[in-house]
């Protein structure tokens, strides 16, 4: 029973990864002839200013996304009805953005933000606001961030809503008897009960935002200039645009290790915080 799963994982993950590792430590001039270079590619990438700039942009983007989507998702989940005919309407509405493919999301916002034909761009221009995401780096960042918030906040909302629905009514009844305020109910009942789903939401959104590629590439192509050239876009440009397979493979491994390390840090910190809060309660 395990063998088909192993074969599938080997074909989709292990074999491509080993191929990437092979390229990361060697150089080639074609005709399947390789030359050992050791860790030279890794040294070049780590000391590359280009990599540093892309990494800083990526960290800033993921930080902004988490700072917006997590609180916003919690607030929307708290405002959603728990009973009645509004529940299926809200759940379906929240699920709709998640059903749209990533390249379609990028195309939607690319057209939506255009000054000549886009509703958003034309409206802002009519109001006298100078908005052009193809020329202004700030406008490009705002467009990419708003697009990601529109696309992925629903995931946080649905996870938080599931956590809220799992809280027994007895907790609310006890809080009502004790005269607890709305903030106290959220702080001591709802937030602790949402801890696990919030952990999943933070990890998923961090990993997704740190690996984002399709949407910003479709909207801005990494521009204007390199203002929205995140690590993924820079990696694709290096591998496909410049065909530097060795440095691209080394950067892929570094990229993977960074995501793995930061995800582990997120998980460890949030788990420890949750354990301390439970111990305090």
pLDDT digits (tens, 9 = 90+) for 184-214: 999 888 888 888 888 888 888 998 999 999 9
| Helix boundaries (H) for 25-168 | 40-46, 49-79, 86-99, 102-112, 119-126, 137-165
Question: Is residue 44, in this structure, part of any structural domain at all?
Answer: no
Q: Is the preceding omega at residue 13 within 30 degrees of 0, hence cis?
A: no
Please check whether residues 184 and 257 belong to one and the same domain. yes
CA distance 127 to 70: 31
Percent of the residues in the chain that have a pLDDT greater than 70, as a whole number: 95
Within a domain: residue 45? no
Q: Please give the Cα distance from 148 to 156 (Å, whole number).
A: 12
136 and 106 in a single domain? The answer is yes
Torsion sign, CA atoms 177, 178, 182, 188: negative
Same domain, yes or no: 1 and 60: no
Whether 160 and 72 have beta carbons less than 8 Å apart is answered as no
Number of domains into which the chain is organized: 2
pLDDT value at residue 279:
58
Quick check: is 101 in a domain?
yes
Q: Which of 29-33, 115-119, 130-134 has the lowest mean pLDDT?
A: 29-33
Residues 70 and 14 in one domain: no
- Does residue 17 share a domain with residue 105? no
Residue 43 located in a structural domain: no
Q: By the 8 A CB rule, do 247 and 45 touch?
A: yes
Task: Tell me, yes or no, whether 185 lies in a domain.
Answer: yes
Answer yes or no: do 60 and 25 share one domain. Answer: no
Q: Based on the fold, state whether residues 27 and 59 are members of the same structural domain.
A: no
Model confidence at 275, pLDDT cuts 50, 70, 90, reads low
Residues 25 and 98 in one domain: no
Is 113 within 8 Å of 121 (Cβ atoms)? Answer: yes
- Is the domain of 125 the same as that of 252? yes
Question: Quick one: pLDDT at residue 109?
Answer: 92
Tens-digit pLDDT profile for residues 139-187: 999 999 999 999 999 999 999 999 998 888 899 899 888 888 899 999 8
CA 180 – CA 146 distance, rounded (Å) = 36
Residue 47 lies in a domain: no
The Cα-based distances of 110 to 124, 143, 165, 236 in angstroms read: 15, 9, 37, 20
CA angle 199, 202, 205 (to 5 degrees): 145
Helix axes 119-126, 102-112, angle to 10 degrees: 30
Q: For residue 193, what is the domain's CATH number?
A: 1.10.3720.10
The pLDDT of residue 281 is above 70: no
* Domain annotation covers residue 204: yes
Residue 276 has pLDDT above 70, yes or no: no
The pLDDT assigned to 30 comes to 67
Judgement on whether residues 15 and 91 belong to the same structural domain of the protein:
no
Is the model more confident about 70 or about 274? Answer: 70
Domain enclosing residue 19, as ranges: 1-38
Encode pLDDT of 66-108 as tens digits.
999 999 999 999 999 988 888 889 999 999 999 999 889 999 9
Burial of residue 171 (number of CB atoms within 10 Å: 0-12, 13-18, 19+): middle
Would you call 28 helix, strand, or coil by DSSP? strand
210 shares a domain with 111: yes
Does 19 reside within a domain?
yes
Residue 67, pLDDT score = 95
Average pLDDT over residues 39-50: 90
Name the pLDDT band for 277 (thresholds 50, 70, 90). low
Mean pLDDT of the 242-266 span? 88
Phi, psi of 28 (to 5 degrees): -140, 145
Residue 78: per-residue pLDDT: 92
Q: Are residues 267 and 132 in the same domain?
A: yes
Q: Are 163 and 201 in contact (CB under 8 A)?
A: no
């Amino acid at each position: 029973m395990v063998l088909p799963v192993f074969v599938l994982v080997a074909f989709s993950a292990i074999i491509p990864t080993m191929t990437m590792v092979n390229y990361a430590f060697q150089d080639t001039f074609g005709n399947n002839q390789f030359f050992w270079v050791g860790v030279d590619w890794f040294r070049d990438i780590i000391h590359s200013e280009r990599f540093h700039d892309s990494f800083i942009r990526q960290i800033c983007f993921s930080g902004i996304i988490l700072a917006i989507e997590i609180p916003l998702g919690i607030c929307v989940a708290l405002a959603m009805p728990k009973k009645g005919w509004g529940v299926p309407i809200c759940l379906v509405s929240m699920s709709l953005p998640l059903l749209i493919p990533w390249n379609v999301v990028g195309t939607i916002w690319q057209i939506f933000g255009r000054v000549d034909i886009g509703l958003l761009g034309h409206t802002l221009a009519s109001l006298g606001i100078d908005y052009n995401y193809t020329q202004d780096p700030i406008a490009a960042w705002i467009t990419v961030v708003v697009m990601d918030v529109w696309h992925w906040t629903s995931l946080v909302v649905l996870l938080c809503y599931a956590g809220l629905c799992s809280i027994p009514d007895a907790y609310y009844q006890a809080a009502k008897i004790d005269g607890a305020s709305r903030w106290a109910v959220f702080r001591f009942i709802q937030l602790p009960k949402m801890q696990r789903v919030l952990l999943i939401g933070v990890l998923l959104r961090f990993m997704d935002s740190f690996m984002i590629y399709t949407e910003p590439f479709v909207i801005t192509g990494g521009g204007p200039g390199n203002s929205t050239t995140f690590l993924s876009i820079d990696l694709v440009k290096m591998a496909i645009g410049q065909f530097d397979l060795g440095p691209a493979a080394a950067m892929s491994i570094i990229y993977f290790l960074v995501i793995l390390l930061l995800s582990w840090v997120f998980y460890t910190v949030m788990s420890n915080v949750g354990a301390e809060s439970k111990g305090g309660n």
